[in-house]
Structure 1
Amino acid sequence: MKKPWFAGVAFCALTLSSAVFASHNVYGTFKGGWSDLDARDIPSGVDTTDASFSLLVGVSFPLDRHDTFSLGVEGGGVWLGSFGNDSELELSGIEAAVMGKAHVANGTDVFLRVGALRWDADLDHGSDDDGTDGFWGIGFTYGLDKLKFRGSVDRYSLDEVDVETYTLGLEYPFN
């Protein structure tokens, strides 16, 4: 039986090999902002907003020789926030996404992400929950040098709740 981690190790080794690494953009992203919980059956007066942050690593592959369009994958850790009047619900997880980028102006790209989040919900009442659900997001990157600014809106659709994050961050290419 093949192990799922083997595919990840093989992907990383292939990505970081010198020939492949030279033709692709490998980057890291740290982004932070706020999240908004949209849950069914929440009484009024319950705090449904909190801070959110993510640490992601990705690789993008140019689809044309002018780097006008690119396709890539990214993944990493996501903390969606603590919700409720006494932080009764804490959401976090690991995400993997496919991302398409379009170069629209000098130093500016727009992107669309679609992926899955392996999430964990910690409840103060002692009953925890977890699962894997989809998400999508849109955003932009801007920068004329190596360091780029990144803004995005992501919508995570979990079992009984939807969470939207509004984030700004920094993207740094490793090559």
Structure 2
Amino acid sequence: MKKSLLAASVAAAISLASVNAFAADDGLYVGASIGKTSSSALDDLDSIPGVSVDDSDTGYKLFAGYNFTSNIALEGFYTDLGQISATDGINKVVASMSSVGVAAVGTLPVNDSFGVFAKVGYQAWNARVKETGMSLVRGDGTDVVYGIGASYNLDVVSIRGELERYDLDGDGVNLLSLGVAFNF
């Protein structure tokens, strides 16, 4: 249901944007995205009888980048990947995750206003795990981040939807988001 709602929102935003404008070939941009995260980190616990797993949450991303050409950009980001949790009714484990990093973005313009893109980059992630009756445990590391998306440019504003994968030591968190960027 939430994925359908997000997809419908992206389609509505693109169809409502009827201005025929084009983005500059180069320049600075800043923006924010919000969407749904999902993780595979607790998949093993989901099969244990009596254990309930919540492996999705709301996530958001703040980003800034520079378009060197209409095809190549470099983007820095901070992403809050939300929380995942598992409980057996007595004990509860909650993990909160965030990431900061940089990614190379390759864009294929379809026309003057619409383009599709792919990205790959490097991130430093941080995870905080809290268990009932236990102290906070922290973990961190560096891993790859990659994704695909589409962007519709309205002169100084771009609407974008994307699916990103944040690897965290063999597990991963996906972020499906809708965002807006301001082009300078």
TM-score category of the 2 structures, normalised to the smaller one: 0.7 to 0.9
Aligned pairs for 1:10-29 (under 5 A) are: 24-29=26-31
Gaps of 5+ in 2: 1-23, 87-91
Matched, 1:99 2:101: no
Structure 1: unaligned runs, 5 residues or longer: 1-21
**Structure 1 vs Structure 2: percent identity of aligned residues?**
31
Shift of 1:23: 7.2
Partner of 1:32: 34
The residue aligned with 1:132 is 142
TM-score norm. by structure 1 comes to: 0.78
SS at 1:74's partner residue? strand
Pairing of 1:1-175 with structure 2 (within 5 A): 24-39=26-41, 40-44=43-47, 45-62=52-69, 67=70, 70-85=71-86, 88-125=94-131, 126-174=136-184
> 1 CA distance for matches of 2:106 and 2:124?
21
In structure 1, C-alpha distance between the alignment counterparts of 2:59 and 2:45, rounded to whole Å: 20
2:146–2:165 contact (8 Å) kept in structure 1: yes
Q: Report the Cα distance in structure 1 between the residues aligned to 2:168 and 2:67, rounded to whole angstroms.
A: 27
Q: Distance in 2 between matches of 1:151 and 1:76?
A: 15
Report the CA distance between 1:43 and its aligned residue: 2.7
- The answer as to whether partners of 2:25 and 2:67 remain within 8 angstroms in 1 is no
Q: CA RMSD in A?
A: 1.8
The structural deviation recorded for 1:96 is 0.6
Q: Matched residue pairs, number? A: 147
- Contact 2:120-2:145 at 8 Å conserved across structures: yes
For residues 148 and 180 of structure 2, the distance between their equivalents in structure 1, rounded to whole angstroms, comes to: 16
Displacement after TM superposition at 1:127 (Å): 1.6
Alignment check: 8 A CA contact 1:106 1:144 kept: no
Shift of 1:121: 0.2
- Residues 101 and 42 (structure 1 numbering): CA distance in 2 closer, same or farther, change over 3 Å? same
Give the counterpart letter for 2:125 in structure 1: W
**Structure 1 runs, 4 residues or longer, greater than 3 Å off:** none
